[in-house]
Structure 1
Amino acid sequence: MSLLMGGATMTDSDSGQVVLVIGGTGFLGRRVVSALTGAGHRVRSLVREPARAAGLFDDRVEIAQGDMLDADAVAGAVRQARAVIVCVHTLSAQPARKAGHDFVDVEVAGVGNIVAACRANGVDRLLYVTSIGVAADASSSWTRGRARIESLLFASGLDVTVLRPGMIVGHGGSGFGMVERGARSRAAVLLSSRHQRFRTVAVDDLAHQLVVLLDEPRSFGRHFDVGSDDVLTIDEMMDLAAEHLGRRRPTKIHLPRRAIACIAPLVERAAKMPPGAISGFVGAGSDSDMIGDATAIRALLDQPPRTFGEAMAQALREGSAAAASS
């Protein structure tokens, strides 16, 4: 792993050979980096704190220090890249955000910096990960906000592909983490609706799909729902995971979302999270099904999606291994 500071450049012989991953140390991002290096690509990752990347990546991965809200840092990271993959998680604390900016404003500003840097450096290819259900007229403020970002991208003039996953299944993810913790417990307290259904996708499948589509012109200018054929509620996922672990199904306590939405602004301020990071996630319309239609993308892929059972089993194995080594 090598560290590149904001204004660093590569030699002419290396020009255009690196794929920049923004969000590379996150739950999905680190798997995208691994999938890219495994396929023979040179990779650069923009990270706020390089120490977080220590031990995650090998010497094929360059680290560019900076925040996507820092236009100069983004410009330095994009320089001489051939493509950019964006898999950020703006629900977490964002130190560089401006006062009063909500989580969508944070992401719009960051994506705007990325688009500007791509245009300035002649980088045409950009892939972005959002979520199933994105629409300008969606009832959820979360999915309406993401629609703003997609509109910005598709109006950018770049060769953009947007992937919209459902519930991403893998150890370390916030969504499946709720399933995994509950499956290992006697009782689970849940923020989700008892009836809300999710299409599921293995995290490694999603990472692999980004690599497959990297140089696929048939995906340019399009968005795709992605996932397996399995559509389940959180309760159903949790029960299946408990059975796989040989445990009894946990008792499930679903907290009223309206109550959570009322206290969410206080939690956001205390945790220094962007406004709306929690309240947008649990507010009006947030219990809509996240199913979509994942058939269109399959003509462009080289392998079928893993089932929920297969993805769940791998995630639980990784969770058990992590617990044993801690």
Structure 2
Amino acid sequence: MMNDNQTRKGLVTVFGGSGFIGRHVVRALIHNGWRVKIACRRPELAVHLQSDGKPGQIELIQANLRDARTIAAALEGVDAAVNLVGILTESDDQTFADIQSRGARAVAEAVKEAGITRFIHISAIGARKNSPSGYARSKPEGEAAVHELVPQAIIFRPSIVFGPEDDFFNRFAAMARLMPILPLVGASTRFQPVFVDDIAQAIVHALDGKATPGATYELGGPEVKTFRELVQYVCDVTRRRRYIISLGFETGKLMAGVTQIAGKLSLGLFPKMLSMTTDQVGLLRRDNVVSDEAKAAGMTLEGLGVAPQPIAAIIPAYLDDGSRG
């Protein structure tokens, strides 16, 4: 049980605090003495987090990045802000530009107006203006808006994130249960998976003043592995012998187009684990690893004093169901 001195660091608003990364960030913050406002479109999805803190330590507030009034309300009286809001795929009511470009700007404008200088924005490794992926192109637009409006803001760019509720390893584990053959687009593309709790701890350290104001950090785990190696690892952990087949990018783009059409025609009934978008195919054309420049400058987890966890220390606990097949 925390004493009163452990809850006096201040009040921080976490935009997107109900999501996968957000839930872990909120827990890390409250366990390190912060009071937290969870700002999200559907606050009811974060109600269960209130039991993790002391009475009154967590406040839920409705906020929409398209509504400046709700963003400003979420920042009233706070000492710091964290923006975790992002999407991996577009829908009819949410586009990459809406959320990761214009949405990031809207949050940064409100942070500036509120006079907040401790601001952390989560982007992604692979963010670049000339990417064939709309997801990757929207990220630097958001970063530019954040640094333009709040020059002291700290940007974190993680590689793929793993943890008990992740979309990556859990998805391929589910596919391996049902499919004897696993087709992969970009099988040789390299990733540097980072544990969600390590990202959360990095955010805590940054809010405590251990990060360089205005800097961009690239967050990756201790291992670099190809897409094929990661999927094979999932099969090994879940004790399933599966054939992994490499597909070319053009074939993958065609297949992705078919699954996108199937998803629309089925009114959302097409299995999510089999869905792939042409944008994701474009994203797979480039490695997703910490750059040499970031490592040389110390703009990494290690530079923040966080020792990153390897996948073998975490993933078996939530993927291994003890079955064979």
User: What range is the shorter-chain TM-score in?
Assistant: 0.7 to 0.9
Partner residue in 1 for 2:4: none
Q: Which residue of 2 aligns with 1:229?
A: 222
Aligned equivalent of 1:279: 278
Does the Cα contact within 8 Å between 1:65 and 1:73 map onto a contact in 2? yes
2:211–2:304 Cα contact (<8 Å) kept? no
Q: Note if 1:78 corresponds to 2:75.
A: yes
| 1:312 equivalenced with 2:315 (yes/no) | yes
- Cα deviation, 1:247-299, whole Å, max 9, x if unaligned, reads 1332235563211443466447955xxxxx9432223x532111123632245
Matched, 1:50 2:43: yes
Aligned to 2:28: 35
Aligned mates of 2:50, 2:264 — CA distance in 1: 31
SS at match of 1:91: coil
- CA distance 1:27–1:89, shift in 2 (3 Å): same
Does the CA-based 8 Å contact 1:182-1:188 persist in structure 2?
no
Residue 67 of structure 1 corresponds to: 64
Deviation at 1:84, TM superposition (A): 1.0
8 Å contact kept, 2:161–2:196: yes
Return 63-72 or 208-217, whichever deviates more: 208-217
Whole-angstrom CA distance in 1 between matches of 2:171 and 2:226:
12
Instruction: Give the aligned partner of residue 119 of structure 1.
Output: 112
Contact 1:16 1:81 in 2 (8 A): no
CA distance 1:28–1:268, change in 2 (3 Å)? farther
| Residue pair 2:9, 2:34 contacting (<8 A) in 1 also | no
Contact 1:242-1:248 at 8 Å conserved across structures: yes
> How far is the alpha carbon of 1:109 from its aligned partner?
2.1
Rounded to whole Å, the distance in 1 between the matches of 2:48 and 2:197 is: 19
Report if aligned partners of 1:139, 1:286 keep a CA contact under 8 Å in 2: no
Alignment of 1:157-196 (within 5 A): 157-185=150-178, 187=180, 189-190=182-183, 192-196=185-189
Runs of 5+ consecutive residues of structure 1 not aligned to the other structure: 1-13, 272-276, 322-326
Percent pairwise identity:
25
Following TM superposition, by how much is the alpha carbon of 1:208 offset from its aligned partner in structure 2, in angstroms? 1.1
Counterpart-to-counterpart distance in 2, 1:96 and 1:77: 22
Aligned equivalent of 1:211:
204
- Deviations 1:11-43 (CA, angstroms, capped at 9, x unpaired): xxx999211111111111100001101111101
Partner of 2:143, secondary structure, is helix
The match for 1:6 is none
RMSD over equivalenced CA pairs, Å: 2.9
Where 1:248 maps in the other structure, the secondary structure is coil
In the TM superposition, 1:79-158 aligns within 5 A as: 79-91=76-88, 102-158=95-151
| Match status 1:220 vs 2:213 | yes
- Aligned amino acid, residue 257 of structure 1: G
1:80-137 deviations in whole A, cap 9, x for unaligned?
Answer: 111111112323677865xxxx312332222122112112211112111121122223
**CA spacing shift, 1:164–1:212, aligned 2, 3 Å:** same
Q: Is the CA contact (8 Å cut-off) linking 2:9 and 2:33 kept in structure 1?
A: no
Give the aligned partner of residue 24 of structure 1: 17
- Show the counterpart of 2:240: 248
Whether the aligned pair in 2 keeps the contact of 1:171 and 1:315 (CA below 8 Å) is yes
Partner of 1:9: none
What residue number does 2:273 align with? none
**Structure 1 Cα separation of the partners of residues 165 and 303 of structure 2:** 28
Matched residue of 1:132: which SS?
coil
Instruction: State how far apart, in whole Å, the 2-side matches of 1:298 and 1:31 are.
Output: 16
Q: Give the distance between the partners of 2:226 and 2:201, measured in 1 at CA.
A: 25
Are the structure 2 counterparts of residues 260 and 124 from structure 1 closer, same or farther at C-alpha, using a change threshold of 3 Å?
Answer: farther
Q: Which runs of 5+ in 2 are unaligned?
A: 1-6, 269-275
TM-score by length of 2: 0.80
Q: Distance in 2 between matches of 1:83 and 1:122?
A: 10
TM-score by length of 1: 0.79
Partner of 2:3: none
In the other structure, the counterpart of 1:7 is none
Residue 302, structure 1, aligned to residue 279, structure 2: no
Deviation larger for 48-57 or 66-75: 48-57
